[in-house]
Amino acid sequence: MRRAGCRRAEEPSLTGRDARTALCHLIAILFVFLALPAHAGTLGRAGMEKQFPPPLVVGERDDRIPVWPILKQEAGSYEVIAYAFESIDFARIPGFGGTAPNLLIALAPDGTFRDARVTSHHEPVFLEGLGSEPLFAFVEQYVGLSARQPIRVGRPNARAAGAAPATTVDGISMATASTRVINETMLAASLAVAREKLGFGAVNIGLRVEAKPDVEPLGLAELERRGWVKRWQITHAEVDAAFADTGLSDPDPGAPEKPFAELTLAYLNVPTIGRAILGEAAHARLMREIGPGAHAVMVVSSGHWSPLPDEFVLGSVPDRLTIQQGGLTVNARDAAWERRDLAPDLPAGPWSLLKIGDAAGFDPSAPWSLSVKVTRERGQIFPEKVACEIAAEYRLPPELFTREVPDAGPSWTDSWRARGVELGIIAAALALLVPVLARQDVLVARARPFSLFRFGFLAFTLGFVGWTTQAQLSIVTLVGTVRALVHTGDFGFLLYDPPSLVLWGFVLVTLVVWGRGTFCGWLCPFGALQEFVAFLAKPLRIRQVTVPPRLDRALRQVKYVVLAAILLAAALGSPLADTFSEVEPFKTAITLYFIRSWPFVLYAVGLIVLNLFVYKGFCRYLCPLGASLALAGRLRLLDWIPRRPECGSPCQLCKVRCRYGAIEPSGKIDYPECFQCMDCVTIIRDPAQCVPQVLAAKRGKRLVPQPVAAE
Amino acid sequence: MSLSLRPAMERRRILLGGLGALAALATGPAAFRALAEHRGRRAATRAGLAFGTTVSLTLVAERDDAFEPAFRDAFAAIRAVEAAGSLYRPDSALSRLNRDGRLDAPDPLVLAMLRFALTLAERSGGAFDPTVQPLWTLWSDGAARGERPGPQARAEAVSRVGWRHVAVDETGIRFARAGMCLTLNGLIQGFAADRVMAALAAHGIADAFVDTGEFAAAGAHADGTPWRLGLGAHGDRPSEVIAPFAGFAATSGDDATAFSPDRRDHHIFDPATGLSPTALSRVTVTAPSGLLADGLSTAAFVMGEAAGAALVRLYSGCAARFTVKL
């Protein structure tokens, strides 16, 4: 007894340790094999020299950002012909599979793309699918285009069809989401480099905001009332509050409520404001002088303290005044304008007309702020200056401006608009499907019409949802989601495939109501394909192979292992997740219409042939998407398949007729394995088929179906 | 004053021939390579961007593995000079000084350049002045608008120029007047050449040709022939060649960043008038240090041939070559 007791005590700890050790080994092995993808550019000098061989010269890398000047030598002098960089260092935009593509880009000093190549990508549609050539050809289109202009991805052959060749590249059908990611990567990375090296591309690249020419004859008083001419009073109390934590008091104290400074500011480009202050002629002259695209802001100081001190130099950048917008300081310089042009009823005092250049990226239709810098001194002999800034906001109604937003290229709203018709058709189909499945007494109960409906709906799923709209849900989306969750935090990629997203939403809802069956049995195009092929089994006299129950149970678990491997690889950031995802034949059979290299076609066709012998064997044993839905389907609220007390004991009809093996001998439904084909529901509602009812009818009784849960 | 804020590509063009021949040799014809290999020496060139233009270093060594560390430290020296005094970098110590009007605990490289600049300003009677940057702003803004600044605007800008109003000590640099701005572009490329040659010497590289915008050379080329420096462009050929060339050379010319097509207005200003000096089109100074060569060439350009030559004579080992404007 004692020994046995000891052993019992030891055993769990031993197995626990073994399990832990095994797990550690497993994780260690996984880490060794799942090489983490590169998170930074990898080319280095040697790589760059290979990409830009002599006579080109790869210059010394920039010391702050990973950019390599590419030079050409001519008669002893060097000339920069491009700046080369890897996009991954500047714009890491997750692709459709969740991993960011990496492009080698060479940007000429005038902002045109001199070279663009793909160095790595994990876009599922190209990997082993279309092949990488279309992607390479897609990227080559950028050569010669300018990064100064927004570039959008058009439809395939958009350029031949008349789209603006300077701002459009031809898209690739079936790869809309991937080409969008590549386009965004190209532009974002180039803009980041251009900003550093070429000095263009402030925040609002391409944005043109201009004051409308309309003039409203308004007086100064009305402009002030509207806040278009802003009166800003800073009290001593406000300044003291700003200096509160420095412990410095006002060297020239005034009553707290008394004004410390009084400023009047106005944005002069708007003619209504500008003419009221300067008069028509001087306003026109000012606008001409500052030039198109530049802005003029008036500041008049009339208070006790002035941000424009006596020593302020005309034409210089004021050091006590700054204009800020969106958290960035806007470069503003005094325009050296004469006071006599200013309206006589403006307060007397120092003034400045500040000029904001075109390149500053200033948007006058958005709020901006003016801040004044007040300094106080600490100490007597070597005084230390302490500065505090106090800011006030200025905003004008956007209606005063015309805003020309640059065409930002395809955004997610574009893809929703473009696919509106498809979305409508899918939504209508779903709206038809729900009541049919929910009201079991209407259509499901009638075997013949219902099987016709099912045949028709599956044809729609395969032909329209699958082959036409390319909305086959796939484990790839789940992989992307896990990668976004763990690594990038960017779920934006989901928005670019509207039909799939709508289906995902529908599937998640039906998961909770009915379980995985709604997708697997009705909305999976590959499932529908298998079902159609299975119709051939009978004419071909193929008999179903009976999988022994124990083997069947074991095989059902395989799909969970496949799912775990894929998601783990995705969570570890390994590109193996893409490879593992190929267990799905969806891309081959649905996305690429079987036009793919032969091993993939062989695999997909093999699964369909297997389906003739083991009905939907892929779905039940291997499908990682089905596994994930089966897991999530455990949240299902309804036991919606009606049962009778006789189900299982003694009647086994439904169990035998279930082609998915989802009914246990006891009559219990194994919902995670149920494909919602409704066969058993039809049987149980058919007095001529349902054995207990047939027997009862013979005995002269009539049995009422007893659903175990609400329908 | 040399004040280019734009890439001074033009400037390089005047120093063509000898350098061109040399560069061709670096990658070179087979006969040259055979000769170099016979001597057991090899050359390598590395180009890069600095001070808003291209720079290049050609080194000669006996082993291939000697190049990479030497290039690395030489470029690090250039980057350090840029971080101290380049106006192309908004975060350089000099840019911060210009923005804030003061610079506490200044970078020793900035101090070294500024002290030399102020000394030269004194010796040249103010012809060299590191505070002429407001003139650059005036002229380049005007050029952007297609205008030539008038006498009033020039007088206003000149009132903000004056090397005597810069206070320098170990604790900091301060401007005594508002609206002042410093530029070290008149000597920074020469100073960079000094720092690069020092870095190369520390690696035991005795033969090198350095172009940081100004030029430096030591030893000889891999085939044993001396370095040659071509000056001035005459079509495809240099108008003058310094051969053998060793030491440092700097050129100030009216063709780098000209504001007017006739090159009357360009990036070098007379601090007294706010206009570009009109007597010369080019001055090249050879000197025992890049700082001297670069600073003196700018000063001599402003002073004209007679006074400029007199100034250069004050410094031993320095010589000037003048090209009079036609």
Nearest C-alpha in A relative to B229: A76
pTM recorded for the entire structure: 0.56
| Residue type present at position A364 | P
| Residue A23, pLDDT above cutoff 60 | no
Nearest-Cα distance to chain B for A69, in Å, is 7
Q: How far is CA A690 from each of CA A392, A651, A674, A695, rounded to the nearest angstrom?
A: 80, 9, 19, 9
pLDDT at A2: 35
Q: Answer yes or no: do B79 and A63 touch at CB < 8 A.
A: yes
Q: A6 versus B194: which is more confidently predicted?
A: B194
| Residue A199, pLDDT above cutoff 70 | no
pLDDT at A76: 67
Which of A45, A78, A334, A373 has the most B C-beta neighbours within 10 Å, making it the best mutation to test the interface with B? Answer: A78
Q: Answer yes or no: do A69 and B79 touch at CB < 8 A.
A: no
For the stretch B265-308, pLDDT in tens is 788 888 888 888 888 888 999 999 999 999 999 999 999 999 99
Highest mean pLDDT (candidates A5-19, A515-529, B160-174): A515-529
A38 close contact with B: CB closer than 8 A: no
Query: In chain B, which residue ranges form alpha helices assigned H by DSSP?
Result: 9-13, 17-27, 30-38, 67-85, 93-100, 108-123, 133-145, 151-158, 188-202, 290-303, 305-313
Nearest C-alpha in B relative to A74: B20
Band (B145; pLDDT cuts 50, 70, 90): low
A414 close contact with B: CB closer than 8 A: no
Which of A49, A72, A77 has the most B C-beta neighbours within 10 Å, making it the best mutation to test the interface with B? Answer: A77
Q: Tell me the domains of chain B and their CATH numbers.
A: 9-86+189-250 (3.10.520.10)
User: Quick count: other Cβ atoms within 10 Å of Cβ A16?
Assistant: 10
pLDDT at A611: 92
A527 close contact with B: CB closer than 8 A: no
pLDDT at A183: 86
Facing residue for B178 by CB, picked from A62, A77, A311: A311
Which of B13, B53, B54 has the most A C-beta neighbours within 10 Å, making it the best mutation to test the interface with A? Answer: B54
Is the complex ipTM more than 0.95?
Answer: no
Q: Answer yes or no: do A78 and B15 touch at CB < 8 A.
A: no
Rounded to the nearest integer, the mean pLDDT of chain B is 83
Q: Which residues of A touch B17 (CB under 8 A)?
A: 75-76
Q: Answer yes or no: do B47 and A60 touch at CB < 8 A.
A: yes
B143 close contact with A: CB closer than 8 A: no
pLDDT at A446: 86
Facing residue for A69 by CB, picked from B27, B49, B138: B49
Residues 63-122 of A with CB under 8 A from B: 63, 69, 71, 73, 75-80
Whole-number Å distance between alpha carbons of A277 and A272: 9
| Residue type present at position A381 | I
- Cβ–Cβ under 8 Å, residues A70 and A61: no
Band (A149; pLDDT cuts 50, 70, 90): low
Q: Judging by DSSP bridges, how do beta strands B207-211 and B215-218 pair with one another?
A: antiparallel
| Residue A511, pLDDT above cutoff 80 | yes
pLDDT at A561: 95
Facing residue for A319 by CB, picked from B49, B101, B230: B101
pLDDT at A347: 86
For the stretch A41-84, pLDDT in tens is 778 888 899 999 888 999 999 888 889 999 988 766 788 889 99
For the stretch A391-404, pLDDT in tens is 899 999 988 998 77
| Residue B6, pLDDT above cutoff 70 | no
Q: A329 versus B104: which is more confidently predicted?
A: B104
| Residue A519, pLDDT above cutoff 90 | yes
Q: Which residues of A touch B23 (CB under 8 A)?
A: 73, 76
For the stretch B236-272, pLDDT in tens is 667 788 888 999 999 988 776 677 777 777 888 888 8
Rounded to the nearest integer, the mean pLDDT of chain A is 82
pLDDT at B73: 95
Whole-number Å distance between alpha carbons of B252 and B4: 11
A338 close contact with B: CB closer than 8 A: no
B11 close contact with A: CB closer than 8 A: no
Q: Answer yes or no: do B54 and A59 touch at CB < 8 A.
A: yes
For the stretch A278-336, pLDDT in tens is 889 999 999 988 888 789 999 999 888 888 888 787 777 787 888 877 655 667 788 88
For the stretch A659-688, pLDDT in tens is 898 998 888 899 999 999 998 898 888 888
For the stretch A331-384, pLDDT in tens is 778 888 877 778 788 888 888 999 887 655 678 888 898 989 888 877 777 677
Per cent of chain A over pLDDT 90 is 28
- Cβ–Cβ under 8 Å, residues A312 and A298: no
B179 close contact with A: CB closer than 8 A: yes
- Cβ–Cβ under 8 Å, residues A471 and A570: no
For the stretch B155-184, pLDDT in tens is 988 988 899 999 998 788 998 888 889 999
Query: What does the DSSP assignment read for B39-54?
Result: TT-EEEEEEEEETTEE
Per cent of chain B over pLDDT 70 is 84
For residues A486, A489, A493 and A494, what is the CA-based torsion angle, rounded to 10 degrees?
Answer: 80
| Residue B8, pLDDT above cutoff 90 | no
Q: Which three-class secondary structure state does DSSP give residue B293?
A: helix
pLDDT at A38: 42
B56 close contact with A: CB closer than 8 A: yes
| Residue A447, pLDDT above cutoff 60 | yes
Q: B213 versus A2: which is more confidently predicted?
A: B213
Q: Which residues of A touch B45 (CB under 8 A)?
A: 57
Query: In A365-446, which residue ranges form alpha helices assigned H by DSSP?
Result: 412-418, 420-438
A62 close contact with B: CB closer than 8 A: yes
CB pairs < 8 Å spanning A and B: 75
Nearest-Cα distance to chain B for A14, in Å, is 56
Q: Which residues of B touch A60 (CB under 8 A)?
A: 46-49, 71, 75
pLDDT at B38: 62
Nearest-Cα distance to chain B for A58, in Å, is 7
Q: A49 versus B19: which is more confidently predicted?
A: A49
Nearest C-alpha in A relative to B76: A63
Q: Which residues of B touch A71 (CB under 8 A)?
A: 47, 54
Facing residue for A75 by CB, picked from B20, B56, B157: B20
B27 close contact with A: CB closer than 8 A: yes
Q: Answer yes or no: do B9 and A316 touch at CB < 8 A.
A: no
- Cβ–Cβ under 8 Å, residues A534 and A612: yes
Which residue is it, tokens 């626990």?
A: A16
